[in-house]
Structure 1
Amino acid sequence: MKIFNSAQIHELDNYTIEHEPIASIDLMERAAKALSFAICEQWPTMVPVVVFAGPGNNGGDALAVARLLAIKGYQVSVYLFNIHNHLSPDCAVNRQRAIDSHQLHSFNEITLNFDPPHLDKDTLVVDGLFGSGLNKPLAGGFASLVKYINASPCEVVSIDLPSGLMTEDNTYNIHANIIRADLTLTLQQKKLAMLMADNQQYIGRLRVLDIRLSPEFISQTKARYTVIEENDIRRLLLPRDDFAHKGDMGTAMIIAGSYGMSGAATLAAKACLRSGAGKVYVHTPKVNSPILQTTVPEAVMSIDKEETYFSQPVNTADFSALGIGPGLGKHENSAIAMIAQVRGSQCPVVLDADAINILANHRAWIQQLPQGVILTPHPAEFDRLSGTGSSGCYDRLMKAADMAQHYGIYILLKGHYSALCQPDGDITFNSTGNSGMATAGSGDVLTGMVTGLLARGYQQREACLVGMYLHGLAGDMAAKDLGKESLMAGDLIRYLPKAFLRIEE
């Protein structure tokens, strides 16, 4: 699924109007019917509705929704803000339609002073002040209205976007001046802002309503941002030949673990095996060897000369992929061995956890990373790696995208919507996963999976996409059976076979 920017959203509307063809006012009516139907599904007719409409097309949508709800039997009060005595053409048409319907409880057009209505816990507010065209923070009277709505106990449904929230970059937005919706009904497709964790407080529950905008435009238009879905993953899966042997399925090396951190190595190794690699070696300090040989008997041990930490690079000439970092620790000898290992490896490399933390402590080493290396940081690890911190999720994402382009690497930024930042500048978001996966060891499982997929023969981009999707899918399937609260990292590995089977079937 593509995620368009605000300019492309406008172009999509215009293309649909021109090529369907359909009049813009009729397209607005189509959207209003979908919006009003969704509202009717959630709230019964005895709920009083207050509609706040702005002067643009988002306000036109809101006025059409008000009329349709009133016809269905809702008690609807409308407040249209026409401060500058200028409405968009379609908003003006819907203003007159709303008045002519004679179905509204009240219609108030605000041109100067505004006495806000009482909003109690039984009131439903329809927010149609501003949509995806907003390009600066709200101020003045509109900001005051937003604060008034947010302070009230009423429920709020926002049309397309909560008013005050910009489509993409909200880094310097004024957060107090953004509607906090209980439900956002967005049109045709998600907007980039909806994928940012720090914007979820404004969006509430999210529903995407199909209003039949041009599929031709959507398929032909290049988008920097996409969301990976099940059918995309199904097309990426490599077939397993019936006559294959373990040598055909690739050999992976996992370098992980230190004293007290054998669990990270265990999880990564098990996940690597479950992802289809023919053979998996684990290089770990001596102290962890008995544990790993007991917990992962399918893996081959490669024992470091040191008792408690990783200290020497491994010859990876015969390996198909290398994953390094889970539970590695940050001993200075481990740091030196890690960068030597990465520089000297000829196979694809995945860096996670302490490997990333080591790079954050030696930022000049980032320039020594080979092209195509994969980094899988969580937000705090990336902030340390970038060395500048972040001003929010969008800012972090842009820094990760810039770093991926500059160094020719892949950065899989983990989160609810994990984002793969690619060397060509494209960003792909994951659509699976849940909050139950916010538990120690989940990242180690992902590292093992991506490494195993690389060994199996996937290219870096495909290994990341398939890995993050199946990682989240396994989590979703585990949460369905076990609940989010009790989910552990090991459950992701146990449900990984079921995730593969679902995609394969």
Structure 2
Amino acid sequence: MKIFSKEQVYEGDRLTVERQQISSVDLMERAGMAIFGWFHRRMQGAQVPIHIFCGIGNNGGDGLVLARHLILDGYNVKTYIVNYSDKRSKDFLINYDRIKQVSKVWPTLLKEGDDFPEISEKDIIVDAIFGIGLNRPIHQWVLFLFKHLDESRAFTLSVDIPSGLQPDKVPESDLCVVKANYTLSFVTPKLVFFLPETAKYTDQWEVLDIGFDMQYVFEVETEANLIGKNEILPLYKPRDKFSHKGSFGHSLIIGGSYGKMGAVILTSRAALSVGSGLVTCYVPQCGYALLQSVFPEAMVITDSDETQITNISFDMKPTVIGFGVGIGTSVDTTNAFEAFLKSNQSPLVIDADGINILANNSELLKLLPPETVLTPHPKELERLIGAWTNDFDKLNKVKAFSKKHNVVVIIKGAHSITVYQDKLYVNSTGNPGLATAGSGDVLTGMITGLIAQGYDPLIASVFGVYLHGKSADIAVQDYGYESLIASYVIHYIGEAYLDLFKQPEQLQQEEDDEKGNT
């Protein structure tokens, strides 16, 4: 799913009006009706008080359309105009006149110094005060209104975006944004719904179709895309009946040091479980017996050193190499990595201490093969690109780093973002259970194993991040967040693959069966 920028939303508005030969107020009517339909399907006429707070721009106009239709359908509606300026949008004024014609009680005008309405915890608030076009400081009295709404503890639904939140900026303070329980976003979600510093302003979101011009939707190129099953399924490469293990590549996992061999086991298991035809582990001598015992499917090559990697030398031609898990950052290991990079011809996936070595020796970055995949956790990312001031600054720094070094960078988090050049691929799967030791090692192995099968490094990264999160989403149903460990994620990779081909009705049936069993 494409994630439109603010400018692209405005252009989509303009082209929809032009190509469908409608007016902008007609498009506003569609938006308000879409929200009304969402409400009506859930409330079915219930007489819970609904407090609709409308600004004086187009977001407020959407709120007025909603209020009018709720009133016409007999709902218990109280409408307020948050009068923060003398300027009003044309379409707002049209809908202000329309609601006056159908309502016995006109909207209440709220201005500075007025008392705020009483709102019960059992009421519903609709926030239609500011939309994506907010470009001015918010008056202090409006911020007090935000505080009043929050303190009511009533269910709060925001129209398009929580008021005060801009689609391309991090707010200066939590006090500057309405805290929504639910946001109904038009056409596409907003990038701020997925960033750590801004996602907290809406607990859930949903996209509403308002009849945007489909040619524009299909043709426009967006910086960011949300990755779900519909985006992943076309990437999948089915296996030929007459294929064999050699058809699916040979992954070499280089890593481990004394006391950290578990990372190599997790990474190599994940590479094989995601479909790599062969997996070889290159480890210090101390890892030989362990790997041969606990992971019989893997082949093992050992370094000459007992406890760490000091000389990377092998007589094979791997399809792809995963480097860095549990490897340490000693001088000997760093020198071995440098020598390896100078002669390596295989695609690379680099994680953990491999990234730390790059951060400490930036001259090695020029030795990386094109489209090398880097999978840092937040601290490793900071060592690599430097500190950032906010989430948007972080994205800009990662994009610049990706372009400069021609690498794929995965920003791991609740919504992991795969970055390549100027493009962002925002993942939709995963859960807090992945906040556990070794889950990053599993992701590294999965991406490595996908590249081994012939997936392009960028595609392998996007696909791997999705499967990793989906495996955890399925596993957590059996184990819960707290008890999920990295090994379990590997065990559910197969089910994540199978889930790609399940139809919605099949998934619903499984969910109903599960509820029946519990």
Bigger shift: residues 313-322 or 211-220: 313-322
Q: Tell me what 2:140 maps to.
A: 140
Residues 316, 167 of structure 1: alpha-carbon distance in 2 compared, 3 angstrom cutoff? farther
Q: Any idea what SS the aligned residue of 1:38 has?
A: helix
TM-score by length of 2: 0.92
Bigger shift: residues 315-324 or 410-419: 315-324
Q: How does 1:323-402 map to 2 (within 5 A)?
A: 323-387=322-386, 389-402=387-400
Q: Tell me what 1:179 maps to.
A: 178
Bigger shift: residues 261-270 or 222-231: 222-231
Is the CA contact 1:316–1:345 (under 8 Å) kept in the aligned structure 2?
no
Distance in 2 of aligned mates of 1:482 and 1:312 = 41
Equivalent position to 1:438, from 429, 435, 438: 435
Shift of 1:258: 1.5
Q: Any idea what SS the aligned residue of 1:47 has?
A: coil
The one-letter code sitting in structure 1 at the alignment partner of 2:441 is: D
Deviations 1:359-395 (A, max 9, x none): 22333433443322110112222112112x1223222
Distance in 2 of aligned mates of 1:246 and 1:102 = 71
Q: Tell me what 2:97 maps to.
A: 96
Q: Tell me what 2:28 maps to.
A: 28
The count of aligned residue pairs is 501
Q: Any idea what SS the aligned residue of 1:306 has?
A: coil
Q: How does 1:188-203 map to 2 (within 5 A)?
A: 188-203=187-202
Q: Tell me what 2:71 maps to.
A: 70
Distance in 1 of aligned mates of 2:181 and 2:230 = 30
The one-letter code sitting in structure 2 at the alignment partner of 1:310 is: I
Q: Tell me what 2:416 maps to.
A: 418
Q: Any idea what SS the aligned residue of 1:206 has?
A: strand
Deviations 1:133-190 (A, max 9, x none): 12355343322322332333332111110011001221x6333211111111111210
Q: How does 1:158-173 map to 2 (within 5 A)?
A: 158-170=158-170, 173=172
TM-score by length of 1: 0.94
Distance in 1 of aligned mates of 2:137 and 2:468 = 37
Equivalent position to 1:455, from 428, 432, 452: 452
Shift of 1:317: 5.8
Bigger shift: residues 299-308 or 53-62: 299-308
Residues 242, 83 of structure 1: alpha-carbon distance in 2 compared, 3 angstrom cutoff? closer
Shift of 1:88: 0.8
Q: Tell me what 2:59 maps to.
A: 58
Is the CA contact 1:317–1:346 (under 8 Å) kept in the aligned structure 2?
no
**For the aligned residues, what is the CA RMSD?**
2.0
Q: Tell me what 2:498 maps to.
A: 501
Q: Percent identity?
A: 36
Is the CA contact 1:183–1:205 (under 8 Å) kept in the aligned structure 2?
yes
Distance in 1 of aligned mates of 2:466 and 2:84 = 48
Residues 139, 400 of structure 1: alpha-carbon distance in 2 compared, 3 angstrom cutoff? farther
Distance in 2 of aligned mates of 1:504 and 1:155 = 36
Distance in 2 of aligned mates of 1:75 and 1:86 = 29
Shift of 1:22: 2.5
Distance in 1 of aligned mates of 2:358 and 2:341 = 11
Equivalent position to 2:403, from 378, 402, 405: 405
Residues 134, 264 of structure 1: alpha-carbon distance in 2 compared, 3 angstrom cutoff? same
Q: Any idea what SS the aligned residue of 1:197 has?
A: coil
Q: Tell me what 1:45 maps to.
A: 46
Q: Any idea what SS the aligned residue of 1:483 has?
A: helix
The one-letter code sitting in structure 1 at the alignment partner of 2:438 is: G
The unaligned stretches of length 5 or more in structure 2 are: 503-518
Q: Tell me what 2:128 maps to.
A: 128
Deviations 1:318-363 (A, max 9, x none): 1110001111122222222223323421010000111112222333
The one-letter code sitting in structure 1 at the alignment partner of 2:321 is: L
* Residue 429 (1) aligns with residue 430 (2): no
Q: Tell me what 2:280 maps to.
A: 281
Distance in 1 of aligned mates of 2:42 and 2:9 = 27
Q: Any idea what SS the aligned residue of 2:500 has?
A: helix
Is the CA contact 2:303–2:312 (under 8 Å) kept in the aligned structure 1?
no
Q: Tell me what 2:86 maps to.
A: 85
Q: Tell me what 1:119 maps to.
A: 119
Residues 168, 83 of structure 1: alpha-carbon distance in 2 compared, 3 angstrom cutoff? closer
Shift of 1:494: 0.9
Is the CA contact 1:287–1:308 (under 8 Å) kept in the aligned structure 2?
yes
The unaligned stretches of length 5 or more in structure 1 are: none
The one-letter code sitting in structure 2 at the alignment partner of 1:233 is: I
Residues 157, 376 of structure 1: alpha-carbon distance in 2 compared, 3 angstrom cutoff? same
Is the CA contact 2:415–2:427 (under 8 Å) kept in the aligned structure 1?
yes
Q: Any idea what SS the aligned residue of 2:80 has?
A: strand
Distance in 2 of aligned mates of 1:316 and 1:55 = 71
Shift of 1:41: 4.7
Q: Any idea what SS the aligned residue of 1:291 has?
A: helix
Bigger shift: residues 230-239 or 157-166: 230-239
Is the CA contact 1:49–1:124 (under 8 Å) kept in the aligned structure 2?
yes
Q: Tell me what 2:292 maps to.
A: 293
Distance in 1 of aligned mates of 2:470 and 2:189 = 20
* Residue 208 (1) aligns with residue 207 (2): yes
Q: Tell me what 1:474 maps to.
A: 471
Residues 377, 66 of structure 1: alpha-carbon distance in 2 compared, 3 angstrom cutoff? same
Is the CA contact 1:137–1:164 (under 8 Å) kept in the aligned structure 2?
no
Distance in 2 of aligned mates of 1:83 and 1:447 = 51
Distance in 1 of aligned mates of 2:88 and 2:139 = 19
Distance in 2 of aligned mates of 1:70 and 1:258 = 69
